[in-house]
Structure 1
Amino acid sequence: MSLHADVLAVLTAWRSPTPAQEALRTRYVEHLHAQPEGTWRHCVPDHLTAGTLVVDASGEHVLLNLHRKARRWFAFGGHCEPGDTTLAGVALREALEESGLPSLDLDPVPAHLDEHTVPFCHPGVEVHHLDVRFVARAPHDAPHAVSAESLDVRWWPVDALPDGLETEMHDLIAIARARVAGRPEAQSRLSPGGSSSSAAADQPSR
């Protein structure tokens, strides 16, 4: 199965937790039907990306990176690359590369969708990342490292997160904590609307 086919199958089967997330899921699926190259960076103005929020076993800490270009704290993630065959594989590869962790326990079911404008991806073109976000667990004491993509990688307590963290990241953290605790992803834990298709315009190209 090709990466395009895997992404389409995963998103077609995914059960959206809110109407806003369902609207994004539909948008992504329609994009993939219209664009055979829709998973690759050269597909403009829109292409799929994948990310991973890393959480510890207690659900009380998340591992974030201070992105070198954006100078803001994000989960790990980036573009699909040649050799990638599954969407979950993209998310896992990016998380391992950017965190320096030796291994991760990735939940292969997507957790959250977020569409955002990226100014650095293709100069002169307003590019939209159609991001599919996953959740992975790692021991709090596992060794991690800063990659070329970041200025810092750090564990943050969920009750003392960095200032300026976008609403969609708070949504994703709530979903990750619910999964770690074995609870359903209640809509009440998400911000109004569940996500925003006009999220931060200064998201980086990763």
Structure 2
Amino acid sequence: MIDLTVENGVWTATINRPDKANSLTTAMLGELADIAARAGTEGARALILTGTGRVFSAGADLEEAHAGLATNPVWERLSGAIAALPCLTVAALNGTVAGGAMGMVLACDLRISVAGAKVFYPVMRLGFLPQPSDVPRLVRLIGPARASMILMAGQKIDAPEAQAWGLIDRVVEEDVTTVAHSLATDALAASPDHASAIKRMIWTG
């Protein structure tokens, strides 16, 4: 249920479970984490995460969430593997992203979205804590008050407002995967060491 294509150094991982709103099982999360780890060791020049259908991901599969997936360390393994990549990483949101699926999106360098998408993380209502690394990443992007709007007030933020906040970097009318590939053009033209050095300067100062 995770499709991977590799073309000219660009790895595109697509969540392909549209009949279940691309909700994530333990196996799917593990596969995504493995892909991100492989991208780091096999010379990927860019990693793009996207989904099929009208939803990027509804978060954890409900049956597995109640069986313990909501607190499984695989979420942190995935977001950590993405954040550690030396190459450009792009979340290409084909639709709404919810719950734990926010982790992989927040770990990316860039987030682009279709206009109709929404962002929400209903941990307060559901009684779960957000993944540990998600909160500082969210706060770094939008500040503590707006993070509280999402995590504590449970607000669903539409794509234009999320862009105004700095949570989404660009709202596009075109196919998001195509746009994501275009954003990788300069990274592909540079040497891997050069791209990695610039990324370190951005994220570590």
TM norm. shorter chain > 0.5: no
- Higher RCO (CA 8 Å, separation ≥ 6 residues): 1
TM-score norm. by structure 2 comes to: 0.29
Which one has a larger percent helix, Structure 1 or Structure 2?
Answer: 2
